[in-house]
Amino acid sequence: MSEKLLPRAERRRRTEGRILDAARTLFAELGFERTTIRAVARMAEVDPALVMQYFGNKQELFRRAVRVAPVPDAGLDSDELVEYLLGTLTLKIGELPQSSLAMLRSMLTHPEAAASARELLGRQIDRLADSVHGEDARLRAALMTMIMLGVTVGHQLLELDELREVSQEEIARVLRPSLRALTGPEV
């Protein structure tokens, strides 16, 4: 146990990291309400009071735990667009970051998670709308986003057998035409 010998700053950094990891795991698995500060502390091998001392309250702990990477920039043609989406699916199915899972898990029942989800999905829609042309570009971008949301929810959160049984490549292959049907006319 060389941990006791670490300098103060480093020790603090690691403990905070352990708490955030535990929080992400539990929020992703159970959602905001069913995750207790006590359980997070137990998993991080720390006193519950320390979690409060570091993060103020449960709300703020959640906020810090679900900080998610920003959506990359736009400017793709139709083909690249579809492959980008199917790629995120592959990514999602493989190892979607637990911070995103935590947000998705709580988005239907926790007001702030819902707000975060709306913002994230809104950015995704904006980004797609830039690469989609023709009429109803924005609506089509929104529907593409909803398709990906539905598949991700079914696969990652509901863990439906029908999606778990097949490979990510197979899902991408079968789903591809549906996304292509929503990309606008070629430029």
Partner DNA sequence: TCGTTGAGTCAACGGTTGTTGAGCGAAATG
Partner DNA sequence: CATTTCGCTCAACAACCGTTGACTCAACGA
By the criterion CB under 8 A, which residues form the site for a second copy?
Answer: 30-34, 104-109, 114, 117-118, 121-122, 125, 136, 138-143, 145-151, 153-154, 157-158, 160-163, 166, 170-171, 174-175, 177-182
Site track for DNA across 12-51, x = CB under 7 A: x--x-------------------xxxxx-----xxxxxx-
Residue 179 binds DNA, judged by CB under 7 A:
no
Rounded Cα distance between 56 and 156, Å, is 30
Query: Which of the ranges 8-16, 72-80, 98-106, 179-187 carries the binding residues for DNA, by CB under 7 A?
Result: 8-16
Q: Which of 1, 5, 69, 187 binds DNA (CB under 7 A)?
A: 5
Residue 1 binds DNA, judged by CB under 7 A:
no
Contact 163, 155 (CB under 8 A): yes
Q: Which of 58, 63, 133, 176 binds DNA (CB under 7 A)?
A: 58
Give me the least distance between CB of 21 and DNA, in Å please: 14
Contact 18, 46 (CB under 8 A): yes
Give the ranges where 35-167 is alpha helix by DSSP (H): 37-43, 48-55, 58-65, 78-95, 98-106, 111-131, 137-152, 161-164
Residue 87, both tokens? 């790629």
Contact 33, 74 (CB under 8 A): no
Residue 64 binds DNA, judged by CB under 7 A:
no
Contact 89, 152 (CB under 8 A): yes
Give me the least distance between CB of 86 and a second copy, in Å please: 12
- As a dihedral over the C-alpha atoms of residue 166, residue 168, residue 173, residue 177, rounded to 10 degrees, the angle is 110
